[in-house]
Amino acid sequence: MKKINKNLITLLVACISCITVAQAQFGGLGKKLLDKGTEMASGGGLNKILKQPQAITTSFKDVNKTGSKPPSFMEGQTPEPLYLLPKTPEGAYKLCAGFYEMTCKSYCLHAGTRGPSSGDGYMLAPVLGPKRDVVILILKHAEKHPEVNQHSIQVLLWAIIARTRFIDFGTDIKLTATTLLSPNELLMLEGGALGVLPASVMAKAKDQLPPAAQSVFEAENNIRQLAASGNASYEQMEKYAMIAGLAPQPDPEVPSGIWSLHPDGYYIRFIPHGYSRTTVQIYVPKELVDTKPGLIYDGPNGIACPANVGAQRLAQTNEPLNPDMTKKLKVICN
C-alpha cells in the first residue's frame, strides 16, 4: 500500500505541475527524452525494447470466425435504433429480441496503419494487451464527460498506444487523462512505456523488424515525441498515426459487412466510416433471449478488427452520434 501511495503522490504532483506551471520549451524536454531513449537502448536494451508487447495486442488472429454469417444475412430487414434500448448502470445496452443499429464514436487503436478502405471486412475481437483495462475505462468514462471532445480522447489513446510514459504526457493530454480517470486509475498508465528513441537507435531497431512492423514502430516513436511536446495538435498526431493511401487488397474470405457470432450468442457486424465513426448492427434471435436472459452489448469491451493487417483496429463505444430520440422502439424491451 505504501508503494502504491508513493506512486500515486508522484502522479498527482505531475498532474498538478502540468496544469499550474508554465510549460517549458520542448527543446530541453526533447533532449531528456532522447537521452532516456538512448539509455534504454544501450547495453542490450534494444532487444528488450523490441520484445516489449504493444499496448493493445489484438490482431485478426484473435477473431473467432466460427458461426459467422455473410453480408446478405438480415438483408431486407429494417433495424431499430440500438441507442433506444435500456442501459445498465455501467452503460451497456440491455438486449431484447430484434434487429438493431447505431452509428457511434469509434477510435483508432493501431498507429502507423491505414484507415478503413472500401471492401475491408471487420469482425469482433476481444480487447487484449497490457493497457486493455485502462483503454476500456477511458472509453466508458468518456460518455460521462461530454465536455471532453473526441479528438482529445483520440490523442490520449494514441499516446497510450504509442507507449508514452504518463510523466512525459504534455499538458493537454495529462488534463484529458486526469478528467477521465481517477487517481488510482491513472496508475494503470505506468509500466510498459518507452522514451523517445533517437534516429540512430530507430535505424538499428527497424533493421531487426519485418517491413509491416517498421512503420508502426516508427509512428509510435514520433507520437511519443509529439505527446511530450505539449503543443502537438490532433492533426499532427493523425499524420503519424494514419498512413496515406490504400491498404493492401482486402481478404476475399472476410468481405465487408460480414457478421460475427458474439460469444453470448447474438450476431454483430461493423461498418466503419473512417476510423472515428462506426455503424454497429446487432441481431438477437428470439430463441436466444428465451434461453439466455440478461444479454447486453457493451461496445468498449470489443474491437472491430480488420482482416486486412494494414488497416486500423477500431475501439468501439456506447456513444451514439446524432441520435434521434423522437423515435420509438417497436418492440417492448424492459
Is 17 a residue whose pLDDT tops 90? no
Closest by Cα among 212, 190, 83, 85 to 143: 83
Q: How confident is the model over 210-239, as a mean pLDDT?
A: 83
| pLDDT confidence of residue 2 | 43
Mean pLDDT of all residues belonging to the chain: 83
| pLDDT confidence of residue 310 | 75
Instruction: For 98-136, write each residue's pLDDT tens digit.
Output: 999 999 999 999 877 777 766 789 999 999 999 999 999
| pLDDT confidence of residue 244 | 61
Instruction: For 311-326, write each residue's pLDDT tens digit.
Output: 889 999 999 999 999 9
Q: How confident is the model over 66-70, as a mean pLDDT?
A: 97
pLDDT range class, residue 1, cuts 50, 70, 90: very low
Q: Which residues pair with 296 in a beta bridge?
A: 94
Q: How confident is the model over 205-220, as a mean pLDDT?
A: 76
Instruction: For 160-199, write each residue's pLDDT tens digit.
Output: 998 888 888 999 999 999 999 999 999 999 876 666 676 6
User: pTM of the full predicted structure?
Assistant: 0.83
Helix (H) or strand (E) holding 141: helix 132-142
Q: Which residues pair with 124 in a beta bridge?
A: 304
| C-alpha–C-alpha distance, residues 289 and 292, integer Å | 5
Asked if 20 and 171 count as a contact pair (C-beta separation under 8 A), the reply is no
pLDDT range class, residue 30, cuts 50, 70, 90: very low
pLDDT range class, residue 93, cuts 50, 70, 90: very high
Residue 304 backbone dihedrals phi, psi, to 5 degrees: -85, 110
Q: Which amino acid is at 155?
A: V
More confident residue, 86 or 332: 86
Q: How confident is the model over 252-280, as a mean pLDDT?
A: 95
Read off the DSSP letter of residue 129. Answer: S
Closest by Cα among 244, 237, 242, 54 to 156: 237
More confident residue, 161 or 32: 161
Highest-confidence segment of 9-23, 42-56, 145-159, 236-250: 145-159
| pLDDT confidence of residue 334 | 67
| pLDDT confidence of residue 246 | 53
| C-alpha–C-alpha distance, residues 177 and 169, integer Å | 9
Is 211 a residue whose pLDDT tops 80? no
